[in-house]
Chain A
Amino acid sequence: MKAVSPEPLLEVRAMGKSFPGVRALNDVSLKLEKGEVLAVLGENGAGKSTLMKILAGVQPADEGQILMAGKPVEIAGVNDALEQGIALIHQELNMATNLSVAANIFLGREPRKRGLIDEAAILEKSKKYLEMVGLEVDPQEILGTLAIGRQQLVEIAKALSVKARVLIMDEPTSSLSQRETDTLFGVIRDLRGRGVSIIYISHRLGEAKELADRVMVLRDGENAGDLAKDEINHDAMVRLMVGREISEFYSRTIHEPGEVALEVRRLRTSAHPEHELNFSLRAGEVVGMAGLVGAGRTELLAALFGVAPLRGGEISLCGAKADLQSPEDAIRGGLALVPEDRKLQGLILEMTVRQNLGLAILKQESSYGLFLNEVREGEISRKMMAQMQIKTPSSRQVVRYLSGGNQQKVVLGKWLALEPRVLLLDEPTRGIDVGAKQEIYGLMEDLAARGVAILFVSSEMEEVLRMSDRVLVMHEGRLTGELPRDRLSEEAVMQLAIGNTIAA
């Protein structure tokens, strides 16, 4: 046996990475020993995924150094990472579900005989790796016919087949059942025993506690601290994840809320039909909806707006029961939804600012319900461009060429032209710069002051704390709690978001 090297297997020094308008990683360091399970925790957007993508060669770093066993290495692409023995298991599995298990394990590295794929060798070798992850499956089986948990084990087997020494798992349990999770944990412990190091990213603190030898916490793209095995407990983890001074805690002018504008009773969405949701929204109220990614918040908004079918329950608008089968119905009822992905769901990118602003109100403003009213369209677009302060060379500019913030304002403007009574916003400031963010916050305030009820989903803690009169928190499809403004704290929201119920 060779002597244990004093150097850690993998070390990251002073890593930095910026995206336009965002500093994703700043002076981040990381150490990983051979055969260690390191849990990396952090809120949404703390920089976990960016760091892992850099290690796996998916994205380049701007600055910093990566060392393997003390030697600096260059990771410029996925193949470099694999050569160093670093493999990333994606959150969403990244495999060819139409090919066999064996074919997937050797995809792109097929052993060949006389120029053709050596099927026999592939089968033989894949058996060995499947055994290592304890998966009993015929390697000739089509991957897509396996349950998700088993597909994931195949992906791990694939990583082992490239002699991975460092296995990065990004939220591996997000779509697994409890039993599949238990199996996966068994495999992880077994791999640790074989000397494979594992970086484990999760939102679920319980898993970190159960599995990790050490916890590393990222916050706002920086190291927030480490916890040794005997220090790992819920409170310590939450404290590190949130423990930031909220620099610009901002006091909104709070208005006395009016009548109930939206009431939801026993609502079941198709994404999480097992949970019933109950809540209400008053005119002039700004309610934040917090939770971790995948908590079912987007699905709830989609169900309210008639985009996704309801599995049950009742929606009332201004006291009257509403049957919302389609976005058309929802719009008629006074609802508006600014969706999460503005390019995919919010905008007709190849159309002009003016055409986009007019799209939802066209019908209302048409002559005889048929003909375009160009004059009104022009008036509306001028009015919304002024109100939203949309920066564009002309109303005839194609929306594709606008900045993210201005695009978002176009989506908002399209809905505000209809003067909705209830405004649903899904991640209203995602991917836009600070200035545009402030403007959108200002707009939300104006609207609330004019009696619009606002429900906004946000994964940015600061935004939730700053803008909400009241916060609803979701966890895995259910509402775990409600916090009025005076009981609002980052820690309270986080506790509810990870599924704990809090004693206030």
Chain B
Amino acid sequence: MKLTTFGDIFPKLSGAQGEGVKRIFGIFLLLLVVYVATAILNPNFLGPYNQENLIRRTSLFGILGIGVALVIITGGIDLSLGSVVCLVGVGVPWLIMDKGWAPWLALTMALVVPLLIGLCHGLLVTKLKLQPFIVTLCGLLIYRGVTRGFTGDQTAGFGSELKGLRWIANGEIPLFPGFGIPFPAIILIVIALLAGIFLNRTIYGRYLLALGNNEEAARFSGINTDRMITLAYVISSGLAGLAGLLFVLDLNLAQPVDFGNFYELYAIAAAVLGGCSLRGGSGTIVGVIIGTALLRVLRNMMNMAFLGFQRAEFAVIGAVILGGVIADELAKRAVARKLSAQKDRDRGSKLERLPPD
């Protein structure tokens, strides 16, 4: 027997899962190409400082990407992530430094408020049947507006306080002299493992994938689809809050006007690059992380290798995503054509076997 298709080689991964793995291979290849190209164009790219920074950024954006991926898998979207990052990122230093709150109280708020925000999004989407795009677009406007209003657009930061806490964002675990693993990478790995187990090893992850593909059939199968969708929004906002906290702990500076601006779009782009279909029902955590890394490396490349063109960063990222999605769609069509030809052949041979009437 000749092994020709991916499904033959990895029979356990045929079907939708196989598609996902193929997708991850493709994007990982692209990541490698961009990575190597940048390293050749500017050897400083491989310097330990730059690498650490790249990993740190990828980790923080990866946390956002995982959250939004779960929402995208349900067939929804979360546009409010950047504003939640802003709300928490500005809110925490503002509460502690300006309002004199105890750090533990401010941190508790930083975790609880986003969860409540996600709960609201989920209930509006499932109970009132509002479109996720609208609900979270309003969220995008509201949370940023609230942050700017409360803080009077004042830049917030911890100054020289809270050095210990800030270590979880800017600290690192030394590997060898001059290079260490940034701690956020550890946080990302833990979250990614939990998310991966949730999506692939628990019944609720299976429910999420099922309802993303066909919500009605999932409901007819006894799945409480409303509860699952709401859960996805809660996780998404919760992770955005966590990321917002880490961002401000790392940067120590947050301006209400633009902190977290466009982050939702980076996260969505990473999820789509990583194999999440905006129609819902498919996506992998590994894919999202590779997608995030690709976006960060591209950005880094523009800054290091094409100095003077870095303002065109958005154009390059946009073109790469578009190219990736087009390539994927063409590949999918080729597969579908092959399969439907197969089906026709099967049906043809069956009809021939039917006795004449």
Contact = CB atoms under 8 A, between A and B. Distances in A.
Contact of B201 (A355, A371, A396, A414): A371
Interface in B60-95: none
A503 interface: no
B345 to A, nearest CB: 12
Name which of A360, A398, A403 has the most chain B CB atoms within 10 A of its CB: A398
Interface in B276-292: 281-282
Interface string A281-309: 00000000000000000000000010100
Interface stretch (B111-119, B179-187, B204-212, B231-239): B204-212
A339 B221 CA distance: 10
Contacts of A328: 222-224
Interface stretch (B7-15, B23-31, B144-152): B7-15
Contacts, number: 96
A362 B218 contact: no
Interface in A302-358: 305, 307, 326-328, 330-331, 337, 339, 344-352, 355
Contacts of A108: none
Contacts of A331: 222
A499 B240 CA distance: 60
B343 interface: yes
Contact of B202 (A305, A330, A344, A371): A371
Contacts of B217: 344-348
Given A394-B14, A396-B11, A20 B202 contact: no
Interface string B102-125: 000000000000000000000000
A351 B7 CA distance: 15
Contact of A327 (B7, B14, B203, B221): B221
B326 interface: no
Contact of A339 (B7, B16, B220): B220
A16 to B, nearest CB: 14
Nearest to A342: B217
Contact of B11 (A348, A372, A394): A394
Name which of B15, B216, B221, B339 has the most chain A CB atoms within 10 A of its CB: B221
B214 A347 contact: yes
A346 B213 CA distance: 12
Nearest to A329: B222
Interface string A345-382: 11111111001000110110010011110000000000
A369 B213 CA distance: 23
B15 A351 contact: yes
Nearest to B197: A371
Interface in A10-67: 20
A396 B220 contact: no
B353 to A, nearest CB: 11
B219 interface: yes
B337 interface: no
Name which of A348, A360, A394 has the most chain B CB atoms within 10 A of its CB: A348
A331 B347 CA distance: 36
A397 interface: yes
A381 to B, nearest CB: 13
B203 A372 contact: yes
B152 to A, nearest CB: 45
A250 interface: no
Interface in B303-357: 339, 342-343, 347
Given A351-B209, A363-B203, A397 B14 contact: yes
Contacts of A249: none
A350 B219 contact: no
A349 B201 contact: no
Contacts of A339: 220
Given A327-B222, A372-B201, A344 B213 contact: no
A394 B210 CA distance: 20
Interface residues of A, number: 36
Contacts of B200: 372
Contacts of B11: 394, 396
A331 B7 CA distance: 35
A279 interface: no
Given A345-B217, A348-B210, A371 B203 contact: yes
Nearest to A326: B224
A398 B224 contact: no
Contacts of B12: 396
A414 B221 CA distance: 9
Given A370-B202, A371-B203, A372-B206, A350 B16 contact: yes
Nearest to B211: A348
Contact of B220 (A307, A362, A370, A398): A307
Given A347-B214, A348-B213, A398-B16, A366 B221 contact: no
B221 A359 contact: yes
B306 to A, nearest CB: 40
A376 to B, nearest CB: 11
Contacts of A346: 217, 220
Contacts of B213: 348-351
A458 B215 CA distance: 25
B220 A327 contact: yes
Nearest to B13: A396
Name which of A326, A346, A351 has the most chain B CB atoms within 10 A of its CB: A351
Contacts of B216: 344-345
A349 B204 CA distance: 18
B202 A398 contact: no
A403 B349 CA distance: 13
A351 B210 contact: yes
Nearest to B343: A401
Interface in B12-40: 12, 14-16
Contacts of B223: 327-328, 359
Given A345-B220, A348-B209, A370-B203, 11 more contacts: A339-B220, A348-B217, A348-B281, A350-B282, A359-B210, A359-B218, A363-B222, A366-B203, A371-B202, A372-B202, A396-B15
Nearest 8 Cβ contacts at the A-B interface: A398-B15, A331-B222, A327-B222, A362-B203, A396-B14, A348-B210, A359-B221, A360-B221
Interface of A: 20, 305, 307, 326-328, 330-331, 337, 339, 344-352, 355, 359-360, 362-363, 366, 369-372, 394, 396-398, 401, 403, 414
21 contacts: A20-B347, A326-B222, A327-B220, A327-B221, A328-B224, A331-B222, A344-B217, A345-B217, A345-B220, A346-B217, A347-B214, A348-B210, A348-B217, A348-B281, A350-B16, A350-B213, A352-B14, A352-B16, A362-B207, A369-B203, A370-B203
